[in-house]
Amino acid sequence: MSPSTIKVSNLAPNTTEQNLKDFFTFCGNITSIDYNDKEHTATVTFEKPSAAKTALMLNGGTLDGSHLTVTSDSVNPDEPDQPEEKGPATHPHIDQTDKPRAGIAAEYLAHGYVLSDHVLRRAIEIDNTQGISKSFMSYFTAIDKSLGSRVGGPDQTVTGKFQEVLTGAHAKAKEVDQQQGISKIAESYYTKALQHPLGMKVRSFYTSTAKQVTDIHEEAKRIAEHKKNPGATPQPESTTPASSST
C-alpha cells in the first residue's frame, strides 16, 4: 500500500464518492478514490504522505451523519513530515499540506463539518509535535511584510504596526486600502485578516503551537464569516457571554 493511502470505513449509505472527495480534499490533493458503496468503505490515496497523516487525524470525524473510521497500514502518523525543497516564489503560495493541522481543522468546521473536541485536540497535539512548517511560516511572513510595507513603510509588518498603535494602524490600513485599492488584490483570508486589528490574534493562531480547542472554534467562525462575505475583514468575537440553558 502507498505511504499516502488511507482506508475509510463506516461510511453513511448516502455518502457518495464526491462527498468523500469534498471531505478529504481539505487534507491535500487526492490522486485516487476506490469507493465500495456496497460495503460503505473507501480507499483514498493522496499526492503526499503528509496529507494522509492529516486524514488519519480525522478518525472519528463526521460525514453525512456517520462517524468515520480512518486507518492506514502504511502511514505512520507519528513520523515527522518531510519538508519539501521549494525555490523562491515571486508570489506567495501555500499548499494545503503546508498548513497547520489546527488551521485545517478550523476550515472543516467553517464549512459545516462536525469534528469532535477529541479530533481538535489531536490536531493541536500534531502541531505541538511537528511544529509549523517553514513553508507556511515563510508564506505568512511574506503576506505580513507585503501589507506592512503599504501601511508603515519598508521592512514593516502589518501585525507589528497594529501592535504598536492598534487603533491608529487600523485607520491607516483603511486609508491606504482606499487610496491604493488593496482590497482588490487582497484575495486570501489571511491577507484580509491581517489588515484588521484582529490580525495579531490570527497571526498567533497560525504561527504558534500554543492554542486550545476554543481557539480552533473561534478561527472557524472567522473563516465562515469571510466565506459568507469575502469583502469584509474578520471581526473579533463578541465579549457578551452566551446564555446557557439549565
The label of the residue with cell 469532535 reads: 116
Answer for the pair 124, 102: CB distance below 8 angstroms, yes or no: yes
What is the pLDDT averaged over residues 111-140?
92
Look at residue 101 in the predicted model and tell me its pLDDT. 95
Bridge-based pairing state of the strands 5-9 and 62-63: unpaired
Q: Write the pLDDT tens digit of every residue in 24-54.
A: 999 999 999 999 989 999 999 999 999 999 9
Report the C-alpha gap between 209 and 231 in whole angstroms: 29
Backbone phi, then psi, for 228, in 5-degree steps?
-75, -35
The label of the residue with cell 453525512 reads: 64
Indicate the pTM of the whole model: 0.76
112 closest CA partner among 64, 69, 67, 66: 64
| More confident position, 75 or 136 | 136
Strand order in the sheet with 5-9: 30-36, 41-46, 5-9, 69-71
Percent of the chain with pLDDT over 70: 66
Report the C-alpha gap between 230 and 95 in whole angstroms: 20
In the predicted structure, residue 211 carries a pLDDT above the cut 60:
yes
Answer for the pair 60, 97: CB distance below 8 angstroms, yes or no: no
Bridge-based pairing state of the strands 62-63 and 30-36: unpaired
Answer for the pair 102, 211: CB distance below 8 angstroms, yes or no: yes
| More confident position, 10 or 235 | 10
In the predicted structure, residue 10 carries a pLDDT above the cut 90:
yes
The label of the residue with cell 497560525 reads: 206
Burial of 111 (0-12, 13-18, 19+ CB in 10 A): middle
Look at residue 127 in the predicted model and tell me its pLDDT. 94
Answer for the pair 118, 60: CB distance below 8 angstroms, yes or no: yes
Look at residue 89 in the predicted model and tell me its pLDDT. 46
Q: Write the pLDDT tens digit of every residue in 183-200.
A: 343 346 777 776 666 677
Report the C-alpha gap between 58 and 69 in whole angstroms: 8
Q: Write the pLDDT tens digit of every residue in 85-121.
A: 554 444 456 789 999 999 999 999 999 999 999 999 9
Report the C-alpha gap between 41 and 49 in whole angstroms: 20
